[in-house]
Amino acid sequence: MTLLERDPNAPVFWKGNMPVTSRYTFGLAGERFFRAIKDEGRILGTRCPECDITYVPATLFCERCMAELTEWVDAGEIGEVHTYTLLFEDMDGNRLPEPEIVAFVRLGDGGLVHRLGEVELDELYIGMNVEPVFKPAAERTGSILDILYFRPVD
C-alpha cells in the first residue's frame, strides 16, 4: 500500500520462519504397501471380511470396526476416475503455464490422489478407466512418486 510506504510511522513487521525438520514412519502396512510398488509395481490393499471393505492403500486396521487386518490383496491394474480437477495454481499461488489434471482414482473401496497424463481433456470423464504408469524399476524408491501418473486404458 503506497500510503503506508510514505508514512514514516508505518508499522514495521518482523519476518520469521519455523525450522521444522522431522521424520515420518509410515508403519507396518505402509512399508509393505510402498515396498510392493517399488519391487513389484503393484498396488496392494487389505480386506476387512467383517465389513466387506478393501482398503487401498493397505492399512493395518479397519476404521469401521477396528479389527486388525491380515488379508492382503492386489488392488489390480485398473482404477476408475472418481473425480478430477484442473489445478491452475502452484504452491505459491502463481498461475501455472498449463493446468495440472489431478484425480482421485478409485481402487478397491479406497484409491489414490494422483496426476493424470497422456489424456486429452475433451476425452476425460468421471468413470473413465485408468492405469498407473510406474517409473522404471531401477529408479523406484518406494514412494508415491514411483507412480508418475495414471493414464487412460485403451
Residues 20-39 that bind another protein (CB under 8 A): 24, 26, 30, 34
C-alpha–C-alpha distance, residues 104 and 111, integer Å: 7
- The correct pick among 114, 128, 130, 140 for binding another protein (CB under 8 A) is 114
Other C-beta atoms lying within 10 Å of the C-beta of residue 30: 16
CB-nearer residue toward another protein: 144 or 154? 144
Query: Which of 9, 136 has the CB closer to another protein?
Result: 9
Cell of residue 89, nine digits: 495454481
Using the structure block, give the residue that is written with the C-alpha cell 523406484. Answer: 140
Q: Does the protein bind Zn ion through residue 65 (CB under 5 A)?
A: yes
89 binds another protein (CB under 8 A): yes
Torsion-angle region of residue 136: left (phi > 0), alpha (psi -120 to 50) or beta? Answer: beta
Out of 28, 87, 137, 153, the only residue in the binding site for another protein (CB under 8 A) is 87
Q: How far is the CB of 37 from Zn ion (least distance, A)?
A: 24
| Side chain identity, residue 93 | G
